[in-house]
Amino acid sequence: MAAKKIAIIGKQCVACGRCVRECPLGALSIYKGLRARVDARRCVGCGKCERICPAAIIEIRERQVAPHAEKALV
Amino acid sequence: MQKKRWYEYLWIWSSVYLILGFFNILFAWLGLICFILPLMISIVWGNKAYCNRYCGRGQLFELLGGRLGLSSNRKPPKFLSSPWFRYGFLTFFMTMFGLMLYNTWLVVSGAPLREVVTLLWVFKLPWNWTNTSAAAPGVAQFAFGFYSVMVTSTLLGLITMVLFRPRSWCVYCPMGTMTQGICHLKHRKDD
């Protein structure tokens, strides 16, 4: 497991999808209209989504991410 | 640069809709598309594709607040995205919508047509320059009521756009809350 800075989506996500369009690496997606989720392998913690989120519920924090995991969705 | 898709221009539809109401209030009926489509998408496909891609109003706020710089870009208060506020606002919004339908029913039953557009549920603007003779009084009354709902929500969105981030309206938009609620119900097991 390696520590890396990634976007963490708060519980009060309204699933508007603004962050999905902003992410330059396609690391974000809307999961079944419920909330945004992050592919931790793709996310580089640039903070673009954090700055744009209309609800301000995204934070960039350090997380342990398994480097060889096929997908690491947070 | 990535080529823009057709749905990225839907802000034009939202702007034209608001303008059309100044010329003929009956165009307000077209706004039902913005009510029915998101509900249909969430009920049939169980997602928020309307909010995510096709919401012209959200795009308009993004354009005005983002590109034109009319937004202060401040973080909105936490309560705005809390479930009690979102569902509370949805309840209030639907109650006012129900009252509007009741007023329409009164006109259908013979009460006189009220040619006013009500802003923020309180301020009544005379709107008697639009010709409604082509439609039955009930049809016209619904148009006045529905246009009031649309202008009021746009106004609220513009206020929160200026005060906070461009798409702050999306945080407490009643349609967004409703469609997310439907998605929660549809995907109970995954939730």
HEC string for B58-88: HHHHHHHHHHCCCCCCCCCCHHHHCHHHHHH
Contacts of B184 in chain A (CB under 8 A): 34
pLDDT of residue B133 exceeding 90: no
pLDDT of residue A71 exceeding 70: no
The residue segments making up the domain with residue A56 are: 2-65
Binary contact (A32, B51; C-beta < 8 A): no
pLDDT at res. A69? 58
pLDDT of residue B188 exceeding 90: no
Whether residue A18 is contained in a domain is answered as yes
CATH code at A28?
A: 3.30.70.20
Q: What is the mean pLDDT of residues B46-62?
A: 97
pLDDT at res. A65? 79
ipTM greater than 0.95 = no
Nearest to B52 among A13, A17, A55 (CB): A17
Contacts of B186 in chain A (CB under 8 A): 32-33
Whether residue A74 is contained in a domain is answered as no
Whether residue A15 is contained in a domain is answered as yes
pLDDT of residue B179 exceeding 70: yes
Nearest to B167 among A12, A16, A34 (CB): A16
Whether residue A73 is contained in a domain is answered as no
Nearest to A56 among B76, B170, B191 (CB): B76
Whether residue A60 is contained in a domain is answered as yes
Whether residue A22 is contained in a domain is answered as yes
Collapsed DSSP state (helix, strand, coil) of residue B40: helix
pTM of the model: 0.91
Collapsed DSSP state (helix, strand, coil) of residue B128: coil
Q: What is the mean pLDDT of residues A29-55?
A: 95
- B149 in Cβ contact with B24 (< 8 Å): no
CB pairs under 8 A between A and B: 84
Whether residue A71 is contained in a domain is answered as no
Give A64 or B88, the one with higher predicted confidence.
B88
Q: What is the mean pLDDT of residues B73-100?
A: 97
